[in-house]
Amino acid sequence: MNRLIDKSRHLPTPAPALTVAYTPIQLAMPGRPPLELRLTAPAVGSDLPIVLLSHGFGPSNYLPSKDGYAPLAQFWAERGVAVIQPTHASSRVAGLDPDLAEAPFFWRERVAEMRAILDQLDQVERQAPAVAGRLDHTRVAVAGHSFGGHTCSLLLGARLDGEDFSDPRIGAGVLLTAPGRGGADLTPENAERFPFFDLDFGHIETPTLVVCGAEDDPHFTPRGPEWHADAFYDAPGAEALLTLQNVGHGLGGIAGLDAKETESEDPDALEITRRLTLAWLRSKFVIGPDDWEKSRGVLESLGQDAGAKVAAKAQ
């Protein structure tokens, strides 16, 4: 029971069930220290679908790692999804040497880390005995917040300078306040600093949900919060756009409760984010095929007081 939420409690969601978590799971990576992961999964059940959750590059020391984003990871895992969280190379607490040439963002290495997880799912299971044999390797989604959304955009099919980073093993995606178009859409200094933001979303064919905060303040661009919705408009596979009212980049608190990553802590916005993204994932994983449409219907019935709205492309 959460006494802090109001309107969001009307959105349907499964009851929580017990979970198990393993950390640190370690995977070998060529020419560098092992990749460390956290795996959170339902304590019982088989054929569990998998979400790879990619953290952002926020101001905290520890939340941009496998140890952040508990509000999302735990919520999803309690309701039927196995969540794998890497500590990316860009992490301050446990990433790669910040003096390396690719530092501090390591955008290409982050993509390689997500691929390494998919390559070594058997090894992940060997290090998590209570989960071994229970993961469905054919049902995989990626979800990424902020810079994690950039990582996931590439894996979903966005191209950079014509290079294709997509992975056919990924069947769905969730982009949470991901960077929008680069190049001329950025300020001149940011266009120079972040040439890897210049993504072509037009090649994303994989079903994708885009999530934005209506009060986001993207410092990279002279544009407003709608910059974070660019993938919805440009990507053929981006089927829906969820916009949260009255919150910005932290979407009410997805990175961590009571955290400085969350510029506006809003329990209802956080709960809407958790329930709607879960409904999307469950519908794409076909463990709750009607969940997304049911949740959309309830959100629309709440009207102006809902605190969020969904835009969808015609199918």
Domains and CATH numbers, the chain: 7-312 (3.40.50.1820)
149, amino acid identity: G
* Residue partners of 51: CB distance under 8 A and separation at least 6: 76, 81, 82, 83, 84, 140, 141, 142, 143, 281
Residue 121 buriedness (CB in 10 A; 0-12 / 13-18 / 19+): middle
Q: What is the pLDDT of residue 315?
A: 62
Mean pLDDT per 10-residue section of the chain, whose length is 315 residues? 92 97 97 97 98 94 94 98 98 94 96 98 98 98 98 98 98 98 97 97 98 96 98 98 96 85 85 98 97 96 91 82
Alpha carbon 224 to chain centroid, angstroms: 21
Q: State the pTM of this model.
A: 0.97
Q: Which residue has the tokens 């019982």?
A: 44
Residue with tokens 């009255």: 246
Q: Buried b vs exposed e over 153-179: b needs ≥16 C-beta within 10 Å?
A: bbbbbbbbeeeebbbebbbbbbbbbbb
DSSP string, 58-121: -SSSSSSSTTS-HHHHHHHHTTT-EEEEE--TT-TTTSS-TTSTTTTT-HHHHHHHHHHHHHTH
Predicted pLDDT of residue 262? 72
Amino acid at 25: I
* Tokens (6 digits) for 186: 């950025």
Phi, psi of 245 (to 5 degrees): -80, 150
- The per-residue pLDDT for 57 is 94
The strands making up 163-164's β-sheet, listed across from edge to edge, are 163-164, 159-160, 199-200
Percentage, residues of the chain above pLDDT 90: 93
φ, ψ for residue 230 (rounded to 5)? -55, -40
Please give the pLDDT value at position 263.
Answer: 74
